[in-house]
């Protein structure tokens, strides 16, 4: 994927037609179609449903369109860095599982920048399957959700995010000390959408325990899940660090939204720091890898103390 590919994609997305997009960017419809097919192969997703009436963007296309501007900036920055011999700022493209940067926190990345002022971190965040394919095609290192394919990646376990329930103070389960997953049976839930591995992992875990909730809201937007719970429309399933983030602290402290642990099943995601196999890391990527390994080593030392 490059800047031109993104331009073709965004024009096609807005036009809802290969032929109309081709007219706007002075290409043949066949050329536009071929580029879109190439992008789909690279990302491992279908971007447009082809019908007799025309083409229709999929959810994957909607997500890519939202990120397209950021990606074009990244690609342009890389191009500028390559073309300017006087520019010594190395850009490190870090592919990272959805929302995991929030778990790591600002200081994790800021401290790396302080130690390495000539390196610039650029985050690439997508739903899981798209992220993994993009990492293999266009990146070298990243934080991704397990289980990982060791034929494609060299990886080290980094951490586990446990998931909990959030609900309104007015919900019938609000006074419970803890919520058992069986309490979720036939409950309205707000969860991550099906584009995320965690959706299928959690669904399988619940089905294993004969729990069949109603997935009322499936979204990539944490704000929507929190608002769903706040309005007492049902229960949100989120990582247990979410309400401790500055963005949600006031809401949690006010008691409008309550966090409850979930017992009876393992709702979690394992995160690995990975390197694509058979790819040579840049100097900056090697430095970031060392930084991650030192972080894990220090974290283990703190636990032992």
pLDDT of residue 85: 46
pLDDT of residue 269: 92
d(CA 1, CA 221): 25
Measured on CA atoms in the order 65, 69, 70, 73, is the torsion positive or negative? positive
Helices 246-254, 222-230: inter-axial angle, 10-degree rounding:
10
Give yes or no: residues 18 and 153 share one domain. Answer: no
Give yes or no: residues 166 and 246 share one domain. Answer: yes
Give yes or no: residues 167 and 228 share one domain. Answer: yes
Give yes or no: residues 225 and 263 share one domain. Answer: yes
Give yes or no: residues 251 and 300 share one domain. Answer: no
Does the model's pTM come out above 0.85? Answer: no
Per-residue pLDDT of the chain (305 residues; tens, 9 = 90+): 777 788 888 889 888 899 888 888 778 888 899 999 998 988 889 999 998 888 999 998 888 888 776 676 666 655 555 554 444 578 899 999 888 998 998 889 988 888 888 888 988 887 776 788 889 888 999 999 988 999 999 999 999 999 999 999 999 999 988 899 999 999 999 998 877 888 888 888 888 999 999 888 888 888 999 999 999 999 999 999 998 888 888 888 888 999 999 999 889 999 999 999 999 999 999 999 999 999 998 877 555 54
Q: Tell me whether residue 180 is exposed, middle or buried, using C-beta atoms within 10 angstroms of its C-beta: 0 to 12, 13 to 18, 19 or more.
A: middle
Give yes or no: residues 141 and 164 share one domain. Answer: no
Give yes or no: residues 26 and 102 share one domain. Answer: no
Domain containing 256 equals: 159-269
Give yes or no: residues 132 and 196 share one domain. Answer: no
CATH code for the domain of 231: 3.40.190.290
Q: Quote the Cα angle for 42-45-48, to 5°.
A: 110
* Rg of the chain, C-alpha, whole Å: 22
């Amino acid at each position: 994927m490059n800047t031109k590919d993104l331009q073709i994609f965004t024009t096609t997305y807005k036009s809802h037609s290969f032929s109309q997009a081709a007219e706007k960017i002075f290409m043949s419809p066949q050329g536009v179609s071929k580029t879109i097919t190439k992008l789909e192969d690279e990302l491992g997703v279908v971007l447009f449903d082809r019908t007799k009436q025309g083409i229709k963007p999929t959810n994957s296309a909607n997500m890519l369109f939202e990120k397209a501007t950021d990606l074009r900036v990244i690609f342009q920055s890389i191009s500028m860095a390559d073309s300017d011999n006087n520019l010594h700022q190395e850009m490190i493209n870090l592919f990272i599982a959805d929302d995991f940067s929030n778990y790591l926190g600002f200081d994790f990345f800021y401290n790396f920048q302080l130690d390495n002022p000539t390196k610039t971190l650029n985050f690439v965040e997508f739903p899981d399957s798209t992220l993994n394919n993009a990492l293999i095609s266009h990146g070298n290192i990243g934080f991704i959700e397990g289980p990982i394919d060791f034929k494609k990646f060299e990886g080290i376990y980094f951490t586990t995010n446990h998931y909990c329930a959030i609900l309104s103070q007015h919900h019938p389960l609000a006074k419970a000390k803890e919520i058992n997953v069986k309490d979720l049976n036939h409950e309205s839930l707000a969860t991550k959408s099906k584009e995320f591995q965690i959706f299928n992992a959690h669904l399988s875990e619940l089905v294993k325990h004969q729990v069949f909730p109603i997935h009322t809201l499936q979204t990539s937007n944490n704000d929507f899940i929190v608002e769903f719970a706040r309005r007492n429309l049902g229960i949100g399933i989120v990582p247990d660090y979410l309400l401790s983030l500055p963005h949600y602290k006031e809401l949690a402290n006010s008691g409008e939204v309550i966090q409850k642990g979930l017992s009876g099943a393992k709702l979690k995601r394992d995160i690995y720091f990975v390197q694509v196999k058979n790819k040579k890391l840049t100097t900056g990527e090697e430095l970031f890898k060392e930084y991650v390994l030192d972080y894990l080593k220090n974290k283990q030392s703190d636990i032992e103390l």
